[in-house]
Structure 1
Amino acid sequence: MSSRIHLSPPDVGPLEESYLLRAVRSGWVAPAGPDLDAFEQEVADRVGVGHAVGVSSGTAALHLALLLAGAGPGSVVVVPTLTFAATVNAALYTGARPVFVDCELGTGNLDVDLLPDLLVRLRRSGERVAAVVSVDLNGACADYGRLVTVCRDAEVPLVEDSAQALGSTYQGRSAGSFGLVGVFSFNGNKILTTSSGGMLVSHDPGVIAQARHLATQAREPVPHYEHREIGYNYRLSNLLAALGRAQLRRLDAMIERRRSLRERYAKLFSAVPGTRILGDGETGSNCWLTSLVVDPAVAGWQTADLGAHLARYNIETRPMYKPMHRQPVHRGRTTVLTGAADRLFATSISLPSGSRLDGEETGRLVTAVESFLDSHR
């Protein structure tokens, strides 16, 4: 059988190897060092903010971000229901209560129209809303033009879960630069990887200084070990930061490769009734993943049919996230629904989108999709 084509495998090569080897030979293995300092500044510069701190995962970054926003026991964090579990888990780590909000059908991102009334209702019922969390699904930015205004008017901090969106923009401005703090993930499947890792970015130096303090066990700057608050072992290592620095130099090329794959998919499905690319037309997206939305009543087939067909060619696909309000662990939580997230979960499938796909693999992928479409014409 041919080698498996994955959704979004790490894209690393000689440049990453050279940066990692140089870091090892420097003696700065862990936890901090010059590559970490440089990586933080380079990401901050790329995003257009003044400050950044590297941590062990995107989840750790979200946890710290929500703590800094004021989340804790007795507070509420508003979270999109169409997201990965880590977005909600981070709120629960603080002791806050998550409230779920439905998404837009076009992008899968938080439906801003639902937010103002919800924030008013929560406040009138005596709830303290610590933060609104946005999620840039598949790399397409949320509607920050309206989100920022809604959060500002309600005096609620905005935390950007831009885990999937490094390199994406909204109206020319980078993902991660709109809220109190932005969060990125460098997990192995992300557009830029440090194998595991994440980063917080902010315009506010005080926010990042406090995040760095908490991420290093909240140790006070004295010769002995002194702690006045609970901290965490969350710092990114110098070696992983070196890998990230090499990846950052290739980021634009990796984005362009993913964008070309999305354009290829768009062309394949352009004449297929009842199909569309999720977030199609979002020009600022880094195209981290390409998801296909199918109306089975029109197309005559379902996403599961396509997934099963591609699996026979050893090609990985994945359904859209199962909404958080449908997860057994979150049964009974407060949710504002329109049905959009449930619909996308039922009718969407994510297709291989990695920048590492070579010509032979792309050819196999296209041939497999075309054979499915030919059999369903």
Structure 2
Amino acid sequence: MGDRIFLSSPHMSEEGYEQKYVQEAFDTNWIAPLGTNVNEFENELAAKVGSKSAAALSSGTAAIHLALKAASVEEGDVVFCPTLTFSATANPIIYQGATPVFIDSNYETWNMCPVALEEAFQKYPQVKAVIVVHLYGLSADMDSIMDLCKEYNVTIIEDAAESLGGYYKGQHTGTFGDYGIFSFNGNKIITTSGGGMLVSHNEEMIEKARFWATQSRDQARHYQHSELGFNYRMSNVVAGIGRGQLKVLGERVEKKKNIYEFYNRELGKLEGIEFMPINEWDKPNYWLSSLTLKGEVRPIDVMKALEEENIESRPIWKPMHLQPFFQKYDFIGTGISEKLFENGVCLPSDTKMTEEDLQRIVNVIKGLWIK
């Protein structure tokens, strides 16, 4: 058995950018929350994606939560959410006491289906906000989705946790809606070990989000709190890692693309394999190279064969409306998300992989067809 190959693990820069900024935090004793790294990480990330402002937070989940709060989502409100996503997209809806309604995917994008979304608007015209996800780095059909959201005058929150560095029609994902969120969890394209960012062109609301994220501490000599607060701010040390990682984002996207193209070239002609859709208007970050299988070889066969060789892989996300906690909530669609889950596999997409590693992976997979 060879060395472990991970699905997507942290990859620090070879140049040591991260250590430089972290060392500065130690040298200046700005270890506690806030400091130069936090301020500059916000500025640099906002500039990178073309947003007016950003708030560095403890996680992408925290960013979604504060975006919903900024959108005035309250108890009893309805929020539309893609069903094909990680639970972190949906959980903050519950934090606010709101009701999620789950929207199906389409095969063209694997993301929120505009047809299902329109049906949901007709059923729930009182909806307060729509969360859009750019799954696996693939952008959703933002023009169609935004047209519908504008027609019904609802807030758009883009969950771009998986798509930092990706573009829709030449514009960074995460910057189309009223609010965008990014994640720097350990498996993301760049990482701070754990953390997230809320971005928006509404600078006043980002300032408000920073206030909420710092326990809503009022300007006073004593500790005074006029609003409910949260302990959501990113630390200055963690932000230093993020600043260094941001410098190599372009390199990581290029490597992810090369991984996808290698798989497509080596496996794309095998019977029953279909890779995730890349549309002409989409320039993804290829976070996880994913495919679906239609035929005798099933996803579990691929995952078990890789596992036996010490290689990590994962199923496509299990839809939220099938999850025990969320299955009581409404679902709008035809079940395409379920088919993607049943037939989908995420292949190893670690940017530290060598060509030998990639060849080892495809050899294992090809062996399932030779049998």
The TM-score by the shorter chain falls in which range? Answer: over 0.9
Q: 1:370 to 1:16 in 2, by over 3 A?
A: farther
Alpha-carbon displacement from aligned partner over 1:243-265 (angstroms, at most 9, x marks no partner):
00110000000110000000011
Q: 1:121 to 1:370 in 2, by over 3 A?
A: closer
Alpha-carbon displacement from aligned partner over 1:19-70 (angstroms, at most 9, x marks no partner):
3223222211120000110000111011111100000001111111111111
Q: What is the DSSP-based 3-state SS (H/G/I as helix, E as strand, rest coil) of the residue aligned with 2:154? A: coil
Corresponding residue number in structure 2 for 1:309: 305
Please say if residues 297 and 369 of structure 2, whose CA atoms lie closer than 8 Å, have aligned partners that are also in contact: no
Corresponding residue number in structure 1 for 2:205: 207
Please say if residues 269 and 276 of structure 1, whose CA atoms lie closer than 8 Å, have aligned partners that are also in contact: no
TM-score by length of 1: 0.95
Q: What is the DSSP-based 3-state SS (H/G/I as helix, E as strand, rest coil) of the residue aligned with 1:345? A: helix
Corresponding residue number in structure 1 for 2:102: 100
Which range is displaced more, 152-161 or 22-31?
A: 22-31
Q: What is the DSSP-based 3-state SS (H/G/I as helix, E as strand, rest coil) of the residue aligned with 2:177? A: coil
CA distance in 2, matches of 1:364, 1:27: 46
Corresponding residue number in structure 2 for 1:117: 119
CA distance in 1, matches of 2:28, 2:354: 34
TM-score by length of 2: 0.96
How far apart are residue 220 of structure 1 and its match? 1.0
How far apart are residue 6 of structure 1 and its match? 0.9
Corresponding residue number in structure 1 for 2:337: 341
Corresponding residue number in structure 2 for 1:3: 3
Q: What is the DSSP-based 3-state SS (H/G/I as helix, E as strand, rest coil) of the residue aligned with 2:176? A: coil
CA distance in 2, matches of 1:218, 1:184: 22
Corresponding residue number in structure 2 for 1:23: 25
Corresponding residue number in structure 1 for 2:229: 231
Corresponding residue number in structure 2 for 1:361: 357
Q: Where in structure 2 are the equivalents of 1:1-377 lying within 5 Å?
A: 1-13=1-13, 14-123=16-125, 128-281=126-279, 283-296=282-295, 300-375=296-371
CA distance in 2, matches of 1:117, 1:261: 37
Structure 1: 5+ residue stretches without partners: none
CA distance in 2, matches of 1:307, 1:106: 25
Alpha-carbon displacement from aligned partner over 1:77-125 (angstroms, at most 9, x marks no partner):
10011110011101000000000110012332000112223213213xx
Structure 2: 5+ residue stretches without partners: none
CA distance in 2, matches of 1:164, 1:270: 23
How far apart are residue 221 of structure 1 and its match? 1.6
Q: Which amino acid aligns with 1:335?
A: F
CA distance in 2, matches of 1:19, 1:154: 45
Please say if residues 138 and 278 of structure 2, whose CA atoms lie closer than 8 Å, have aligned partners that are also in contact: no
Which range is displaced more, 302-311 or 241-250?
A: 302-311
How far apart are residue 309 of structure 1 and its match? 1.0
The CA RMSD over aligned residues, in Å, is 1.3
CA distance in 1, matches of 2:365, 2:67: 41
CA distance in 2, matches of 1:359, 1:334: 45
CA distance in 1, matches of 2:94, 2:328: 15
Q: What is the DSSP-based 3-state SS (H/G/I as helix, E as strand, rest coil) of the residue aligned with 1:4? A: coil
Q: What is the DSSP-based 3-state SS (H/G/I as helix, E as strand, rest coil) of the residue aligned with 1:184? A: strand
CA distance in 2, matches of 1:116, 1:261: 36
Please say if residues 100 and 324 of structure 1, whose CA atoms lie closer than 8 Å, have aligned partners that are also in contact: yes
CA distance in 1, matches of 2:233, 2:278: 36
Alpha-carbon displacement from aligned partner over 1:310-352 (angstroms, at most 9, x marks no partner):
1111111101111111111112211112110110010000000
CA distance in 2, matches of 1:257, 1:373: 27
CA distance in 2, matches of 1:250, 1:331: 40
CA distance in 1, matches of 2:123, 2:259: 43
CA distance in 2, matches of 1:259, 1:372: 25
CA distance in 2, matches of 1:322, 1:259: 25
How far apart are residue 273 of structure 1 and its match? 2.3
Please say if residues 77 and 99 of structure 1, whose CA atoms lie closer than 8 Å, have aligned partners that are also in contact: yes
How far apart are residue 217 of structure 1 and its match? 0.4
